[in-house]
Amino acid sequence: MKRVKLTVAYDGTNYCGWQVQPNGLAVQEVLNRCLSELLKTKIEVIGASRTDAGVHALGNVAVFDTEARMPAEKFSYALNTRLPQDIRIQNSCQVPDDFHPRFQETVKTYEYKIYNRKFPDPTKRLYTYFYYYPLDVEKMRQGAAYLIGEHDFKSFSTYKPEVENTVRTIYELGIQRSEDDVITIRIRGNGFLYNMVRIIAGTLIRVGGGYYPPKHVKEILEAKNRELAGETARPEGLTLVEIRYPEWEAKKDGHHVSVDPLP
């Protein structure tokens, strides 16, 4: 028996999210089906991040156990011939039997993209959130600065009774505007609460639009009250870019793995 780790990219437009659900097709369900057909036995993958409906990923992580003789690195090729075009395995490798994609030290990177101009571009509608009113990126950066570091992010999460600890650490939070009017909020941290990135994006949109002064972000954070933060921004603007496992990577490579700053 061996445990295989998959790095999974997908366009979340046509899915109800990552996790298997009764109300629609999930990315996890498609992976389970394709793996089960490939290996002629029932396979259920364990995912690292349960992305919501419409959210995309470049580097979600999943693992599964198998007795198949196929080398772990070959699963990416075998699966990509069976998966639909909106799901693709980027890498596959063998990991220790006790490797779990959720229950160990991680560094996650997300991007939230806002298309900020007078008229929408239909070719960007599935991967950005269109926002008509002008946004001041510098004010958004000033507001975002209050969120960097270790904080209780209760104000920036949708309540889930099973989540008792709402303290997380944000290592980097950068905001850039491109020449084609796409504002990218890039955020890296040790973990994120339910809807946390989308609520941060919704709050920073209010700052950029002049509804909140930048320092109000600090007041929202300290209040620990979800009702004071901005709306939960729409899902199509969000992409899970990468999940790193510093401790596992250090053991695998035999050297220290640092958290690199954002470009």
pLDDT of residue 255 exceeding 60, the answer is: no
Residue 93 CA to chain centroid, in angstroms? Answer: 21
Mean pLDDT over residues 228-242, rounded? 98
Nearest CA to 175 out of 165, 190, 187, 185 is that of: 185
Per-residue model confidence (pLDDT) at position 257: 45
- Say if residues 107 and 243 touch (Cβ distance below 8 Å): yes
Distance in angstroms between the alpha carbons of the first and the last residue of the chain: 40
Residues forming the active site: 52
Residue 208 pairs in a beta bridge with none
Residue 188 CB: number of other CB atoms within 10 A? 23
- 116 φ/ψ angles, rounded to the nearest 5 degrees: -115, 90
Per-residue model confidence (pLDDT) at position 251: 81
Confidence of residue 262 (pLDDT cuts 50, 70, 90): very low
* Distance between CA atoms of residues 80 and 135, nearest Å: 40
Torsion of CA 216, 222, 224, 230, to 10 degrees: 20
Q: Where are the alpha helices (DSSP H) in 110-195?
A: 137-145
* CATH class name, domain 107-241: alpha beta
pLDDT tens digits, one per residue of 43-70: 999 999 999 999 999 999 999 999 999 9
Domain 2-102 has CATH 3.40.50.970: no
Looking at every residue in the chain, the average pLDDT score rounds to 95
Torsion of CA 243, 144, 113, 244, to 10 degrees: -10
Q: Is 196 helix (H, G, I), strand (E, B) or coil?
A: helix
Asked if the domains at 2-102 and 107-241 fall in one CATH topology, the answer is: yes
Per-residue model confidence (pLDDT) at position 261: 47
* Distance between CA atoms of residues 117 and 134, nearest Å: 7
The answer to the question of whether 211 is labelled as a binding residue is no
Domain extent listing, the chain: 2-102, 107-241
pLDDT of residue 121 exceeding 60, the answer is: yes
Residue 239 CA to chain centroid, in angstroms? Answer: 5
